[in-house]
A = this chain, B = another copy of it.
Amino acid sequence: MRLSRFFLPLLKENPADAEIVSHRLMLRAGMIRQHASGIYNWLPLGYRVLRRIEQIVREEQDAAGAQEILMPTIQSAELWRESGRYEDYGKEMLRIKDRHDRDMLYGPTHEEVVTDVFRKNIHSYRDLPKILYQIHWKFRDEVRPRFGVMRGREFLMKDAYSFDLDMEAARRSYNRMFVAYLRTFRRMGLTAIPMAADSGPIGGDMSHEFIILADTGESAVFCHKALLEKPTPESVNYEGDLQPVVDEWTSLYAATDEKHTENHGVAPEDLISARGIEVGHIFNFGLKYSRPMDAVVQTVSDGTIPVQMGSYGIGVSRLVGAIIEASHDDAGIIWPDSVAPFHVGLINLKAGDVETDRVCAEIDARLSAAGVDVLYDDTQERPGAKFATMDLIGLPWQLIVGPRGLEKGVVELKRRATGERYEVSMETAIDRLIAPSSGS
């Protein structure tokens, strides 16, 4: 993609209304523009990142055996009356009347709808277990939306729902999602720590929030520092017993503010007290919806029992902000390779110079043909402005091509994260950027 054509409206100044760094950087880098309070347009750069994150989430859900569906955004209020939540939900629910004066709503979550899908289509223990998920837009009418996409009103979420015959099977589904979450966030370059969380009246130990540490986090969290260094499982057999992995992670103390106690048994020098951003939440809610909504399955002995359910959320659009909170410097964003909107920013230091243009066009063509996403700055801007733009938008690699280097037979390769620079031949640069180890 040529920058001269790319729709990338940058802001020179920090927007006054953006309180946290990810919001500022997303606006400055032309990733999003606000439409209304807590409602955003995703511009090409931002939308590319959102889709990369979405795809990682999807791949890890699929690998864990979850099956993708899509439920509607506009729901009938009837189901919410059955579950008893219609009146309870409060003003965060966007309530709507359709033209026939029927009560509808914009789904803030989908337990009712998925339970309805289940009860109408699955009737036997033989069809269990099942995990269904979707990646879709939800709406919660927050009183005071803020922090850009971190707490918007319209937001993209992955929500999965498990259906099991009994609690033992429900724990297996829970463990699958637990492990899938560890892998999902790690693939995005995040250290997300599962923390015991409040599970409401259902209780039990099957409720964890996945939290990344960041100064701008909305809540206080506490954990053993060893959790920050713990490796996530490289390859997982989701058919096997995942309890040991879960035990290993949950044996060390980690708790959100709500669940924090003084009896944690962690030595003071090992306890981290920090601010955290919640990026995922998994929990088992047993029969909370299946009982009132009559979602039952036939058992082996031919009776029927309500199905055990759990729900598993990831804030997909929120993650765009969360990753920036975790990965930036004074000059701008530093994208992890796995979610970067482009892999390489190709900078032409003298657009219009025949030889420089020719080399840049060749590099662009060869990298693109190899499946490497390139943003080619072919504009007439000064070199300083070009460097600042590339640092701001945070592509993992910059490849800088100018007449002086070409006279010596070299181009310059810069790694955004470390600032390291290498003078190399064009061929070496291309090889390096195509190599899988470069993270593309």
* Distance in angstroms between the alpha carbons of A270 and B75 in the assembled complex: 49
Shortest A351–chain B CB gap in Å is: 14
Contact bitstring A25-46, B, C-beta under 8 A = 1, else 0: 0000010010110011111100
A7-B132, A141-B99 are contacts. A76–B41 as well, Cβ < 8 Å?
no
Q: How far is the CB of A38 from chain B (nearest CB, A)?
A: 10
Stretch of A115-123, A197-205, A216-224, A409-417 lying at the B interface: A115-123
Binds B, one of A63-71, A254-262, A386-394: A63-71
- Tell me if A143 counts as interface (CB < 8 A to partner B): yes
Structural contact, B69 and A137, CB atoms closer than 8 A: no
Considering the chains assembled together, what is the distance between the CA atoms of A39 and B121 in angstroms? 17
Q: Is A350 an interface residue (CB 8 A)?
A: no
Closest B residue by C-beta to A79: B35
Are A98 and B104 in contact (CB-based, < 8 A)?
A: no
- A120: chain B residues at CB < 8 Å are 33
Q: A246: CB under 8 A from chain B?
A: no
CB-defined contacts of A36 to chain B, threshold 8 Å? 72, 74-76, 102, 104
Interface residue? A86 (CB, 8 A): no
In the complex, are the beta carbons of B71 and A35 less than 8 A apart? yes
Residues of B within 8 A of A39 (CB): 72, 74-76
Question: Main secondary structure on chain A at its contact with chain B?
Answer: mixed
B96 adjacent to A69 (CB under 8 Å): no
Q: Given A74-B154, A96-B96, A106-B74, does the pair A47, B69 have CB atoms closer than 8 Å? A: yes
Cα-based distance from A139 to B104 in the complex (angstroms): 13
Contact A94 B96 (CB under 8 A): yes
Answer whether residue A225 sits at the interface, using C-beta atoms and an 8 A cutoff. no
Partner of A137, one of B44, B91, B92, B137: B137
Contact mask A124-157 → B, CB, 8 Å, 1/0? Answer: 0000001010000101010100000000011000
- Contacts A33-B120, A96-B96, A121-B33 given; does A72 touch B7 at CB 8 Å: no
Whether B153 lies near A7 (C-beta < 8 A) is no
Separation in Å of the A369 CB from the closest CB of chain B?
15
Q: Is A242 an interface residue (CB 8 A)?
A: no
A70: which of B9, B42, B96, B106 is its contact (CB, 8 Å)? B42
**A163, closest chain B residue (CB):** B7
Q: Which residue of B lies closest to A1 (CB)?
A: B67
B-facing mask of A48-75, CB < 8 A → 1, else 0?
A: 1010000000000000010111111111
A137 partner residues in chain B, CB cutoff 8 A = 73, 137
Partner of A68, one of B47, B69, B71, B154: B47
CA–CA, A361 and B275, complex, Å: 49
Q: Report A85-115 CB contacts with B as 1/0, cut-off 8 Å.
A: 0000001101010110010101000000100
Return chain B residues, CB-CB under 8 Å to A422.
none
Bound complex: CA A141 to CA B42 (Å)? 26
B72 A40 Cβ-Cβ under 8 A: yes
Q: Counting chain B CB atoms within 10 Å of each CB, which of A67, A73, A139 scores highest?
A: A67
Give chain B nearest CB distance to A61 CB in angstroms: 12
Cα A48 to Cα B62 with chains together (Å) = 13
- The reply to whether B98 and A141 contact each other, CB–CB distance below 8 Å, is yes
Complex CA distance for A58 and B5, rounded to whole angstroms: 18
- Check A69 against B94 for contact (C-beta < 8 Å): no
**Known A-B contacts A6-B67, A70-B47; A35 and B96 likewise in contact (beta carbons under 8 Å):** no
Complex CA distance for A139 and B106, rounded to whole angstroms = 11
Q: Which residues of B contact A47 (CB under 8 A)?
A: 68-70
Q: Cα distance A67–B68 when bound, in Å?
A: 26
Q: Mind listing 11 A-B residue pairs with CB under 8 Å?
A: A5-B65, A6-B67, A7-B132, A9-B121, A9-B122, A36-B72, A39-B72, A39-B76, A41-B113, A41-B117, A98-B141
A residues apposed to B, CB below 8 Å: 5-7, 9, 30, 33, 35-36, 39-44, 47-48, 50, 65, 67-76, 91-92, 94, 96, 98-99, 102, 104, 106, 113, 116-117, 120-122, 130, 132, 137, 139, 141, 143, 153-154
